[in-house]
């Protein structure tokens, strides 16, 4: 966590992908993304990863996702309206769950950014993603009906983990005019995280949303 110096600065809460070193990978991303901006930055590791106890089972992770946002806001004494959610790969699924829950409780987050996120994926044995949720199916598209806030969808055209850009495009299509879609030619799955043009698009999006008043 990196706290801002200004009491009304925006926060970015990052939901990582399926990575054995989620905290390091997430910190590298947030450090490169935020640069010298006075924004609050926060991330966490899922159950069973890095310093987090427990087992990485989907039903528990799905419950954790909105609770992490709620507990984070309570701990920092801030409202969800100052928090910009972001998720990478399977983290996009969990960030979307958090966004939907916050909307349903009348405390929407300020925005949502989905980076190379899954729309519909089965976690199968011998897959590079099998470390986390073997045998589970993550379906993000049904979650999107409950998301009303602005969403930025970032996708690489050479996404080797998700079979190209089809899943990111499906998410953007489902969101319709609630989403802004940007695709980066020749950029792969993990490479998208540290791709400066993608980070610049996310910075501009969050800055734009920060300047907009929060609806009462």
Read off the CATH number of the domain in which 125 is found.
3.40.50.1820
Non-local (6+) Cβ contacts of 210 within 8 A are 10, 84, 110
Asked whether residue 73 is assigned to any structural domain, the reply reads yes
> Is residue 3 in a domain?
no
Residues in Cβ contact with 120 at an 8 Å cutoff, skipping those fewer than 6 apart: 137, 138, 139, 140, 141, 167, 170
Query: Would residue 74 count as lying in a domain?
Result: yes
**pLDDT confidence of residue 123:** 62
Range of the domain at 92: 11-211
Q: Is residue 216 part of a domain?
A: no
Q: What is the pLDDT of residue 136?
A: 78
**Average pLDDT of span 99-111:** 96
Q: Estimate the crossing angle of helix 22-34 against helix 196-211, to 10 degrees.
A: 70
Mean pLDDT, residues 177-197 taken together: 97
pLDDT score of 19: 86
pTM attached to this predicted model: 0.92
Question: In 56-175, which ranges are continuous DSSP H helix?
Answer: 58-76, 90-104, 166-175
Mean pLDDT for all residues in the chain: 91
Has residue 121 been placed in a domain? yes
Determine the 3-state secondary structure of 35 from DSSP. coil
Label residue 129 by pLDDT band (50, 70, 90): very low
* Cα–Cα distance, 62 to 91 (Å, whole number): 11
Provide the phi-psi class of 163: left if phi over 0, else alpha when psi is between -120 and 50, else beta.
left
Is the per-residue pLDDT at 62 higher than 50?
A: yes
Task: Read off the pLDDT of residues 32-48 as tens digits, 9 standing for 90 and up.
Answer: 999 899 999 999 999 88
Residue 54 pLDDT grade (very low, low, confident, very high; cuts 50, 70, 90):
confident
């Amino acid at each position: 966590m990196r706290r801002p110096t200004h009491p009304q600065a925006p926060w970015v809460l990052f939901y990582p992908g399926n990575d054995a070193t989620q905290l390091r990978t997430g910190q590298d991303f947030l450090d490169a993304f935020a640069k010298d901006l006075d924004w609050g930055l926060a991330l966490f590791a899922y159950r069973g990863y890095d310093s987090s106890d427990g087992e990485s089972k989907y039903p528990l992770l799905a419950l954790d996702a909105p609770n992490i946002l709620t507990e984070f806001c309570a701990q920092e004494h801030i409202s969800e309206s100052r928090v910009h959610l972001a998720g990478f790969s399977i983290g996009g699924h969990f960030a979307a769950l958090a966004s939907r829950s916050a909307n349903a409780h009348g405390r929407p987050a300020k925005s949502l950014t989905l980076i190379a996120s899954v729309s519909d994926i089965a976690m199968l044995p011998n897959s590079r993603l099998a470390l986390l949720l073997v045998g589970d199916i993550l379906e993000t598209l049904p979650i999107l009906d409950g998301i009303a806030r602005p969403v930025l969808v970032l996708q690489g055209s050479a996404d080797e983990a998700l079979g190209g850009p089809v899943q990111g495009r499906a998410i953007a299509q489902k969101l319709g005019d609630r989403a802004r879609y940007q695709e980066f030619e020749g950029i792969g799955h993990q490479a998208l995280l540290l791709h400066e043009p993608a980070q610049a698009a996310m910075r501009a999006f969050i800055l734009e949303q920060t300047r907009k008043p929060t609806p009462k």
